Amino acid sequence: MMDGSAIIIGSGLGGLECGYILARHGLEVTVLEQSNHTGGCLQTYVRGRALFDTGFHYAGGLGDGEPLNRLFSYFGLMSLPWKQLDPECADEVVIGDRAFPFASGHRRFAERLTECFPHEKEAILKYTDFLEDVGNRIFDIFMSRDAGGFISGPLFAKSAYEFLNATVSDPLLRQVLSGTSLKMELNAESLPLYVFAQINDSFICSAWRLRGGGSQIADSLVESIRKMGGNVRTDAEVTAIREKGGKVAEVVVNGGEVLEADWVISDIHPSATVALVEETRALRKVYRHRISSMENTYGMFTANIRLKPGALPYVNRNIYVHRAGTDLWRPEPGRTDSVLVNWAVPYDGSDNAISLDLLTPMWWSEVEKWSGLPSGHRGEDYVRFKRDRTEECIRLAERRVPGLGDAVDRVYTSTPLSYSSYLCEPEGSAYGIRKDWKSPMTTVLTPRTPFPNLLMTGQSLNLHGMLGVSMTSVLTCAEIIGMSALASEILQL
């Protein structure tokens, strides 16, 4: 057990996991959340009989012995009502009028795709074996004394796009293997191979939904932190970070309250973190400029659809629908060429779907003209813009879900403006800072900052998603606790 105190800015998954780790190790923890709900993208909301997730939809690698299972077991999250998606087809990729199954388990995944592409059997096995090897080595970073050495490693400095082209000759198979792309921003010019491989591998292991919504993850972590003596506060916006003697001395809450701690961890976007630090010579302008000028990934348009009772059956898989001829690695702003259809697990245990979500990429440039206006007061043209995009998503999804349009009872939408307004995510970015294989040392961040007692965590640092954020929370807390003891606890070495 350790002495000391820590303030954590933001109660997203990364912030709450850091709070859990540090409280478990005896630190006096205070988590500060600016909104009136904890959880960030884990929040859920209810409209009538339908419950909707704001950002979390499904997770990969929760099976026994799999990476996220080991992490979530440590955080006490495996007792939640997880539901595994169909192992024979957890994800269905539709290209034009053809559908392709993504089975769970590396061998079965390869077998089912080989049935569709028998001439590419060797390439499919090579691809699958590579991803499995990357996944098997995910915890190697916990054994390294220098996380920075891992981040500058060879797979962060290789192109995912070039790897795929070099491994697979059939252009349709390359599209299919890229077809679950809404888990990340596919970018032919920038996406590192490690990001592509690690995220895809975790969902090939197994895929899971959570009956009752992602807020249960946040609620469980908050409850655990409080049981261990920590404090989680809502309506507590950090408005300034102050330095003294080269270290963070205090944070200011709601413009007036001053709090002190030995450590401060920020779970908000790195550019927002830097913006909170009051002017000081200890934080050089070149560092401020570097962090504030980093490019962000695109955002997401989401149509949360409440269905008419009994109108559609629940489907225990995800469907990724892409128009024929779409270049998934070079998506175009303003177009609806891809949509993810994601069903919520019926909380009443029935076979009928209560709600589903449609997601498609959306760029900040598409909504920027309304960015200065408050929610609910952006005008009829914004309402029309969202309605048109919703109709486009429904038409595309109906290629694989016949009758969807007639089954709609009510639609609730969000755009990058929503994520920017409610979650303070710059440009409404869905996956945080854009990583670039050509410059991994400047786009893949470590938790450290120029202040020895100010650390960062969250999706913008290493990897995004449930697995990536959970890994990063461990790396962040290891700067305080030490990696050896923490790795031993989590991996039960």
Query: What radius of gyration, in Å, describes the C-alpha atoms of the chain?
Result: 22
Ordered DSSP codes for 199-251: HHHHHHH-EEEETT-THHHHHHHHHHHHHTT-EEESS--EEEEEEETTEEEEE
- How high is the pLDDT of residue 143? 76
- How high is the pLDDT of residue 349? 84
Helix (H, G, I), strand (E, B) or coil at 144: coil
Contacts for 178 with CB less than 8 Å, ≥ 6 apart: 164, 186, 328, 329
Helix (H, G, I), strand (E, B) or coil at 477: helix
Per the structure block, which two tokens stand in for 276? 């909170």
Q: Which residues pair with 59 in a beta bridge?
A: 208
The parts of the chain modelled with pLDDT lower than 70 are: 1, 144-153, 493
Per the structure block, which two tokens stand in for 409? 């009872």
Query: For 400-444, how does the pLDDT look when each residue is reduced to its tens digit (9 = 90+)?
Result: 999 999 999 999 999 999 989 887 789 999 999 999 999 988 898
The span from the CA of 376 to the CA of 382, in Å, is: 10
**Cβ burial 434-449 (10 Å sphere, 16+ → b, else e):** bbbbeebeebbbbbeb
Q: Between vectors from CA 46 to CA 216 and to CA 415, what angle results, nearest 5°? A: 95
**Domain chopping of the chain, boundaries:** 5-47+61-79+212-294+432-491
Q: Between vectors from CA 171 to CA 167 and to CA 175, what angle results, nearest 5°? A: 90
Instruction: Decide if 294 contacts 386 (C-beta within 8 A).
Output: no
pTM: 0.95
- How high is the pLDDT of residue 149? 46
- How high is the pLDDT of residue 456? 97
Sheet holding 207-210, edge to edge: 59-60, 207-210, 82-84
CA distances from 410 to 45, 103, 252, 348 (A): 14, 32, 42, 19
Q: Between vectors from CA 181 to CA 178 and to CA 186, what angle results, nearest 5°? A: 85
Q: Report the candidate in 314, 87, 116, 371 with the shortest Cα–Cα distance to residue 208.
A: 87
Architecture of the structural domain at 5-47+61-79+212-294+432-491: 3-Layer(bba) Sandwich (3.50)
Burial class from Cβ neighbours inside 10 Å (0-12, 13-18, 19+) for residue 3 reads: exposed
Instruction: Kindly give the interhelix angle for 483-491 and 465-481, rounded to the nearest 10 degrees.
Output: 140
- How high is the pLDDT of residue 151? 54
- Count of Cβ atoms closer than 10 Å to residue 302 Cβ: 27
Ordered DSSP codes for 115-138: HH-GGGHHHHHHHHHHHHHHHHTG
